[in-house]
């Protein structure tokens, strides 16, 4: 029977069918659901959230060397974090089959850049597969195991947002009983010291020659013959778009195995068509190698290299064709940017922080990135996971050296702190700056959709875990000045900022309140209780000053005609941040 | 690709467009169509403008719908209809939920919610306006708004013959099946 599955779900199914027994990841859109779905195979696969991608990949490498088939998944920028083990594991090769799934995000639906991770395969010298739909996402995880064990290489499977998050039909298969290989101590293979790696590098170059031969022969790279006027070399989701635009008016060399590229197969295909097009999303990864092999082709000179590709862009770029659309005045359409939810515990924090002058707010990756938007504007920078704390330190050192009265305030979430913020805070302590670090602990990994982390008390597969408390952790790292506050209390926040601004040593402010969307654990119920209620506006008391709109809550509206505020009963959860902002006490808990 | 039909569902993060599109695609798959569906995840979901795209036919390639390509645009929110209208075929149909969710620039009084949106759209295309919120309340469960809109979509697409009852049973928790079947029927009869 065929089942409609996302690429992520299908890749998870592939892990099950391929007999993978260990999988690790750090959540990140669009990769998150791969491990979430693998975790459902509780009897067959050990599935674990790691605190970051480097740890996830290393844990999976350990599982592979121990003899099991293993998988690690992460978003494209996560591979940057995991790049260190990736490159050397490329040298050593595997014991049990090993696949690393990188999910790239062309168009930056939910990311800070749109790097093309296909270059990682070439750079780290590991084999690469690129699925173009859910069926291939499943099947290629299985193929990855055969290739990995057959050629003694890790396989990078590169997916993209549209493949990860589109549902397409999948024919399910049976689970193959992969036998765990024995662990054998082998220093000449797995002890990456210079003397060993000099030999491994030489062997690796031969491995790549063997893999290129495989690439030329495998059915993962296949030809579809139609008209021979135009021949299209394509891979991944771009194949689907090319088919959408050209249908049977062109022939295709559809590549599923894209490192090493099947250069002979491409050359033969090119020799049989009048014009050769290379259609790929983002960078000219294939085009560069095809041109370097002396094969003329048309690619990025017409197909854009920025943003997400789609059939419309291709049709316009290659055929000059545009579909007829309805013309209308869209200037009246008001933007609808994502916002912090009604009752989000970050709102009060950013509202209080936004009132401070002479500060540089170094932000990080998570929902709290929205603190930089209108009307809060409480953010100056965002670079990557964990960077808030290290950048805050560097900035503070410079402000102090040049006698500027600026203070650096780093803002980071609980999961991001565990990810890479901890090392950064150690740096702040060690190198003695007085930057202010704010850890917004909402008791969950929020943005990616509520994944457990070392602070929540549960593992991915629902087992109870030790709760790592942030305050003692921060003290253990060497921070003496720590305050934990309730972010729904603006007076507590203000007092904490006043206190921190005065210090000559590094300070940490921890805000501790659960994400408004979080399903409370028993521990949460004990600590925070059933706090949800409702606020309302007394319109007789409201003077129309609009101050309550400053925190930017989507449950609160200001009517320009009546000059009164009102609160949406469905969205409001009674956090009372607006009530504390109102100078006339016109907002109060309903029923009071 | 002429036989491929395209349905674009648009709304605001958290409005439940996902369940409607799940039932829709389940029904289409059991009718033997090739189906592809694409939706928004992650950051954009936080109260932002969201879309679900469903394509079906004998063979579907791209999982996304281009400008001027949707046969039906189902909009869970009035202003969102206008944001996505250029994706509709000039002779396509629109199903609009008569429901406003002001975005933050409007809530804070900086911008006005656009006036006369439904009138503007009705002048240009075949539009069905549904008070799905009111109907859902009359049925006794405001959350069934999405399935009411699904019913209206199925009618607009002329797909009433498919096994929708089975699709709803497959996608909805047992205790909500009856109310959703009623909601679907209500949507069909608008």
Give the CA-trace dihedral at A345, A347, A351, A353, to 10 degrees: 60
Q: What is the pLDDT of residue A566?
A: 96
pLDDT band with cut points at 50, 70 and 90 for residue B45: low
Chain A residues near residue B114 by CB distance under 8 angstroms:
332-334
pLDDT tens, position by position, B55-93:
999 999 999 999 999 999 999 999 999 999 999 999 999
pLDDT reading at B42 higher than 90: no
Q: What is the CATH number of the domain that holds B37?
A: 3.40.920.10
pLDDT in tens, B167-184: 999 999 999 999 999 999
pLDDT over 80 at A317, yes or no: yes
- Chain A hits for B48, CB-CB cut-off 8 Å, are 336-339
Looking at the partner chain, which of B85, B103, B125 has a beta carbon nearest the beta carbon of A336?
A: B103
- Predicted confidence band of residue A75 (pLDDT cuts 50, 70, 90): very high
| A240 part of contact set with chain B, CB < 8 Å | yes
Q: Which domain holds residue B147?
A: 5-188
- pLDDT reading at A254 higher than 50: yes
Q: What is the pLDDT of residue A472?
A: 98
Q: Is the pLDDT of residue B130 over 90?
A: yes
Identify the pLDDT of residue B14. 74
Compute φ and ψ for A475, nearest 5 degrees.
-65, -40
Give Cβ neighbours of residue A288 (< 8 Å, ≥ 6 apart).
none
Which residues lie below 8 Å from residue A263, measured CB to CB, with a gap of 6+?
A: A212, A216, A289, A290, A293
Whether residues B45 and A338 touch (CB distance < 8 A) is answered with yes
Query: Which positions 298-337 of A are in contact with B (Cβ < 8 Å)?
Result: 310-312, 323-326, 328, 330, 332-337
Contact B68 A556 (CB under 8 A): no
**ipTM for the whole predicted complex goes beyond 0.90:** yes
Residue A358 is classified by DSSP as S
> What span, in angstroms and rounded, lies between the C-alpha atoms of A511 and A522?
20
Mean pLDDT of A574-590: 97
| Structure token pair of residue A557 | 């509206």
At B1 the pLDDT is 47
Pairing verdict, β A507-512 and A436-441? parallel
Q: How many residues does this entry show for chain B?
A: 190
Compute the distance between CA of residue A422 and CA of residue A428 in angstroms, rounded to an integer. 10
- Which chain A residues are Cβ-neighbours of B80 within 8 angstroms? 336
Two tokens, residue A518: 């979080």
**Interface contact A244-B61, CB threshold 8 A:** yes
- For chain B, what is the largest distance between any 2 Cα atoms, rounded to a whole number of angstroms? 50
All residues at 6 or more sequence positions from A526 whose CB lies less than 8 Å from its CB, including other chains? none
Cβ pair A161, A8 in contact under 8 A: no
Could you say which DSSP state residue A315 is in?
I
Token pair recorded at residue A60: 């999976």
Average pLDDT over residues A151-174: 98
The arithmetic mean of pLDDT across residues A181-205, rounded, is 98
The pLDDT-based confidence of A473 (bands split at 50, 70, 90) is very high
pLDDT tens for A32-57 read: 999 999 999 999 999 999 999 999 99
Instruction: Work out the minimum CA distance from B144 to partner chain A, whole angstroms.
Output: 15
DSSP, collapsed to helix, strand or coil, labels residue A565 as strand
| pLDDT, tens digit (0-9, with 9 covering 90-100), for B53-63 | 999 999 999 99
By the CB < 8 Å criterion, does B141 face chain A? no
- B41 falls in which pLDDT band (50, 70, 90)? low
Query: Which of B62, B85, B103, B117 is the best substitution to test chain A (most A C-beta atoms within 10 A)?
Result: B62
Cα–Cα dist A348/A97, whole Å: 49
Mean pLDDT across the stretch A547-563?
94
pLDDT of A592 above 70: no
- Rounded (10°) angle between helices A134-151 and A194-217: 130
**Chain-chain contact of B102 with A557 (C-beta, under 8 angstroms):** yes
Percent of chain A surpassing pLDDT 90: 96
B chain contacts of residue A335, beta-carbon cutoff 8 Å: 103, 105
Tell me if B42 and A448 make a contact (CB, 8 A cut-off). Answer: yes
Q: Which domains does chain A have, with CATH numbers?
A: 2-217 (3.40.50.970), 221-319 (3.40.50.920), 346-528 (3.40.50.970), 535-589 (3.30.70.20)
Mean pLDDT of A558-580: 94
Helix A387-401 to helix A422-430 angle (10° resolution) is 20
**A and B: number of Cβ contacts within 8 A:** 173
Number of domains forming the structure of chain B: 1
Task: Average the pLDDT over A225-253 and give the result.
Answer: 98
- Contact status of B64 with chain A (Cβ, < 8 Å): yes
Q: How far apart are CA A135 and CA A171, in angstroms?
A: 7
Among candidates B38, B47, B66 on the partner chain, residue whose Cβ is nearest the Cβ of A162: B38
- Contact predicate B46/B69, CB 8 Å: no
CA of A98, closest CA in chain B: separation in Å? 27
Q: Which residues of chain B make contact with A240, given a CB cutoff of 8 A? A: 61-63
pLDDT of residue B43: 60
What is the average pLDDT across A382-406?
A: 98
Q: Are A135 and A171 in contact (CB under 8 A)?
A: yes
User: What are A425-459's pLDDT values in tens digits?
Assistant: 999 999 999 999 999 999 999 999 899 999 999 99
pLDDT for residue A223 is more than 80: yes
CA distance A168 to A556: 40
For residue A376, what pLDDT band results from cuts at 50, 70 and 90? very high
Q: Is A247 on the interface with B (CB under 8 A)?
A: yes
What confidence score (pLDDT) does residue A464 get?
96
| pLDDT per residue as tens digits for the range A292-304 | 999 999 999 999 9
The pLDDT score that the predictor gives to residue A434 is: 98
Helix/strand/coil for A127? strand
Q: What percent of chain A has pLDDT over 70?
A: 100
Nearest residue in B to A7, CA atom: B38
Residue-averaged pLDDT of chain A? 97
The angle subtended at Cα A154 by Cα A149 and Cα A159, nearest 5°, is 120
- At residue B17 the predicted structure's pLDDT band, cuts being 50, 70 and 90, is confident
Helix (H, G, I), strand (E, B) or coil at A51: coil
Q: Cβ B35–A4 below 8 Å, yes or no?
A: yes
- At B50, the pLDDT band (50, 70, 90 cuts) reads confident
Find chain A residues with C-beta within 8 A of B79's C-beta.
333-334, 336
pLDDT score at A589: 94
- For chain B, the average pLDDT equals 93
What CA–CA distances, in Å, run from A15 to A44, A324, B15, B135? 10, 44, 33, 45
């Amino acid at each position: 029977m065929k089942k409609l599955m996302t690429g992520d779900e299908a890749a998870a199914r592939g892990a099950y069918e391929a007999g993978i027994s260990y999988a690790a990841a750090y959540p990140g859109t669009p990769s998150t659901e791969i491990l979430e779905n693998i975790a459902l195979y509780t009897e067959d696969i050990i599935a674990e959230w790691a605190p970051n991608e480097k740890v996830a990949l290393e844990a999976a490498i350990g599982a592979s060397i121990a003899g099991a088939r293993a998988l690690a998944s992460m978003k494209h920028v996560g591979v940057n974090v995991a790049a260190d083990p990736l490159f050397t594991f490329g040298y050593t090769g595997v014991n049990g089959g090993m696949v690393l799934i990188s999910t790239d995000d062309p168009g930056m639906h939910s990311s800070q850049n749109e790097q093309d991770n296909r270059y990682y395969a070439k750079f780290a010298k590991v084999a690469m597969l690129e699925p173009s739909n859910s069926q291939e996402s499943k099947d290629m995880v299985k193929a990855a195991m055969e290739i990995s064990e057959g050629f003694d290489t890790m396989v990078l499977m590169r997916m993209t947002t549209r493949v990860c998050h589109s549902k397409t039909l999948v024919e399910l298969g049976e689970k193959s009983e992969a036998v765990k290989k024995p662990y054998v101590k082998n220093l000449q293979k797995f002890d990456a010291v210079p003397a060993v790696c000099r030999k491994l590098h030489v062997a690796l170059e031969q491995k790549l020659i063997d893999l290129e031969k495989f690439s030329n022969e495998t059915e993962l790279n296949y030809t579809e013959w139609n008209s021979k006027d135009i021949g299209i070399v394509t891979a991944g989701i771009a194949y689907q778009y090319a088919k959408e635009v050209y249908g049977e008016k062109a022939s295709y060399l559809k590549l599923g195995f894209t490192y090493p590229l099947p250069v002979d197969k491409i050359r033969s295909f090119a020799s049989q068509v009048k014009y050769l097009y290379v259609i790929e999303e983002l960078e000219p990864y294939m085009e560069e190698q095809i041109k370097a092999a002396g094969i003329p082709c048309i690619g990025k000179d017409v197909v854009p290299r920025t943003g997400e590709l789609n059939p419309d862009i291709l049709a316009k770029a290659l055929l000059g064709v545009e579909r007829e659309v309805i013309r209308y005045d869209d200037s009246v359409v008001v933007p609808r940017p994502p916002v912090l939810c009604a009752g989000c515990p970050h709102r009060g924090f950013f509202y209080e922080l936004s009132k401070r002058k002479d500060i540089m707010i170094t932000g990080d990756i998570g929902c709290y990135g929205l603190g930089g938007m209108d009307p809060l504007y409480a953010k100056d920078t965002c670079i990557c996971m964990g960077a808030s704390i290290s950048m805050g330190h560097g900035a503070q050192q410079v402000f102090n050296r040049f006698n500027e009265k600026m203070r650096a305030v780093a803002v980071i979430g609980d999961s991001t702190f565990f990810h890479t913020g901890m090392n950064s805070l150690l740096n702040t302590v060690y190198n003695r700056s007085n930057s202010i670090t704010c850890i917004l602990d909402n008791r969950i990994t929020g943005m990616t959709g509520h994944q457990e982390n070392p602070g929540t008390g549960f593992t991915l597969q629902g087992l109870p875990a030790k709760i790592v408390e942030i305050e003692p952790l921060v003290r253990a790292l060497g921070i003496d000045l720590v305050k934990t506050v309730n972010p729904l209390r603006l007076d507590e926040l203000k007092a904490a900022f006043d206190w921190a601004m005065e210090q000559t040593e590094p300070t940490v402010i921890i805000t501790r309140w659960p994400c408004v969307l979080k399903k409370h654990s028993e521990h949460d119920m004990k600590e925070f209780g059933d706090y949800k209620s409702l606020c309302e506006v007394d319109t007789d008391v409201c003077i129309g000053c609009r101050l309550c709109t400053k925190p930017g809550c989507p449950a609160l509206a200001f009517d320009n005609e009546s000059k009164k505020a009102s609160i949406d009963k469905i969205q409001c959860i009674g956090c009372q941040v607006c009530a504390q902002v109102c100078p006339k006490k016109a907002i109060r808990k309903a029923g009071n | 690709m002429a036989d491929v039909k395209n349905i674009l569902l648009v709304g605001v993060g958290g409005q439940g467009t996902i369940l409607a599109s799940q039932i829709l695609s389940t029904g289409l798959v059991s009718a033997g169509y090739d189906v592809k569906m694409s939706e928004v995840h992650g950051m954009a979901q936080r109260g932002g403008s969201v879309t679900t795209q469903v394509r079906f036919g004998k063979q579907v390639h791209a999982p996304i719908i281009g400008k001027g390509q949707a046969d039906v645009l189902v909009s869970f929110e009035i202003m969102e209809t206008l944001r996505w209208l250029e994706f509709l075929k000039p002779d396509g149909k629109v199903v609009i939920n008569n429901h406003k969710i002001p975005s933050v620039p409007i809530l804070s009084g900086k911008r006005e919610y656009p006036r006369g949106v439904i009138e503007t759209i009705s002048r240009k295309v075949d539009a069905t306006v549904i008070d799905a919120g009111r109907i859902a309340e009359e049925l006794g469960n405001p959350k069934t708004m999405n399935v009411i809109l699904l019913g209206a979509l199925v009618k607009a697409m002329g797909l009433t013959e498919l096994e929708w009852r089975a699709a709803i049973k497959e996608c909805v928790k047992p205790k909500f099946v009856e109310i959703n079947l009623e909601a679907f029927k209500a949507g069909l009869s608008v």
